[in-house]
Structure 1
């Protein structure tokens, strides 16, 4: 070997610094040289083992997690991703982005124990979500012929591992695709469906629901408006949801103010009012049911029987109730002040509410006067109400029997279980009493004598005869 500058063959190698240089001009000819010597080592058994690996000159390799992944292997994986992308109409740029997600998962050893096709489908779906393309997770499952939940599970684990923030799916992206599959060539159908989706989004119907069901309901209504009607079954087969999901979205839209508009009003008028979120409606419904159960559904026949009746809360005024922090107990107490009954919880004493003997003695004088005045007021109220109101308040014997029969039918299983539990407890008490009696049979003197006696070493020897022998 000669120097390229001074054409001198005086070249020395410094093994410590791992370089080769010219001694005349100082040019570094080689650095980080690889030693091609064959080295051997001994294993635990004492035999010699060749160290290192043979690498072919025409192959380039890179080390990932302690294993050599060749470029041929990466090319094979890229070919699989390309075949999946071509089947779903995914572009080359999206496939390259998916391969970058795959390489990141490779560095975290996420590919271990997982099928390559499923992992590539999850990477492609991440790219589709980021670039907002009309592709659903069920499309990848249909192409690969696997369960959609397997891809979804790997997708969720991968975004947690790589800390990826996924944007929400916009249902309007799928409208042109579904319209073309349903042969709805009229552009007005798609425009009306997009307007319906925008209206449903303002009425809190889109958030928290699958976009396929929202698109199916919007396209179904739009096709009926423009005279190109499609059945619920046809739409469900295209959007890949069940018919019950589409019907449920239609029922939710029916409860909004948009359902009361005509077709011309819907196309020209944009309602500024938004519906309440579903959780607010649910709380209002529960509040209404509990309130009606407390005050009763039937109103009195006469107008003089009840005065200052509190207003039943509805979906429109429930926010005021929640903001004022008015509880259901306060509302029911205002009603029961005029109509006290035996079933009222406010007149039932509980162990925690009962006073101590000393407190009872101190408060006897005060409470006696109050109860006397209350009884007089209650009797005067009943006398003013008349016989008809008393008959409405009190149940007849037939009504009592019918009510008892209904209660037994509703809670018959509970009564049977309680009876079985009582029988088991009685058996346990009997067994415990028997054990206590058996223990009490042994007197104290016998127990002491049995403890003092020495244990015989053998049952075949008569120890009493031996004692008598020595006594003689």
Structure 2
């Protein structure tokens, strides 16, 4: 619904569809506007679970040329998205790592694991916090810190089995040998290690 009035029939029932970029009178069916330029970015989900931007790229320069939506647009959008993912991942790794009182070496190693996971597309379809927690736990296991997956589960309020599946997937796909918990650790053996993915 809009506050516009149809020029043809005087109707006030105007349907403005931002995705299509048009305004249509619901009374007489007249297209009042098309190719409406909007300032916000909208995304739609496709059948494969991915998302894509809706609309048409409009150049900000004064030449008036509208570049095509070819491979260059999607490539730059992908690079920008990847950089944003890495930035968010690093921020969350630092936040969670400080709560676990991990040193900077451990945080840097966890971020390297996260970058590897992003490059192998292991973050797709998974919550970022789960992947971040799995990367931190990989570091805890490889560096021999006294942390358990249950500690991360408690911090994030996420089921330990969900984090365990993500951890096992990352360890397998990134070919990282995560040693078992040592005998010096007084924590009970973690139950999730028998999970299958």
Q: Into which bin does the TM-score normalised by the smaller protein fall? A: 0.5 to 0.7
Higher Rg: 1
TM-score by structure 2 length?
A: 0.56
Alignment match, 1:94: 106
Alignment match, 1:161: 173
Unaligned runs of 5+ in 1: 1-35, 42-48, 54-61, 176-210, 214-239, 242-472
Unaligned runs of 5+ in 2: 1-60, 192-197
1:212 matches 2:188: yes
- Pairs within 5 Å for 1:285-296: none
Question: In the aligned structure 2, how far is the partner of 1:71 from the partner of 1:160?
Answer: 25
Q: Is the 8 A contact 1:39 1:50 kept in 2?
A: no
TM-score by structure 1 length?
A: 0.25
Q: Please point out which of 124, 136, 143 is paired with 2:148.
A: 136
CA RMSD of aligned residues (A): 3.0
1:74 matches 2:98: no
Question: In the aligned structure 2, how far is the partner of 1:40 from the partner of 1:94?
Answer: 47
Change beyond 3 A, Cα 1:63–1:123: farther
Superposed CA deviations along residues 290-331 of structure 1, whole A, max 9, x for unmatched, are xxxxxxxxxxxxxxxxxxxxxxxxxxxxxxxxxxxxxxxxxx
Deviation at 1:95, TM superposition (A): 0.9
Change beyond 3 A, Cα 1:120–1:50: closer
Change beyond 3 A, Cα 1:164–1:70: closer
Q: Is the 8 A contact 1:171 1:212 kept in 2?
A: no
Change beyond 3 A, Cα 1:40–1:97: same
Larger strand percent: 2
SS in 2 for 1:171: coil
Larger helix percent: 1
Alignment match, 1:105: 117
Aligned length: 128
Change beyond 3 A, Cα 1:88–1:160: same
Q: Is the 8 A contact 1:125 1:137 kept in 2?
A: yes
Deviation at 1:168, TM superposition (A): 2.1
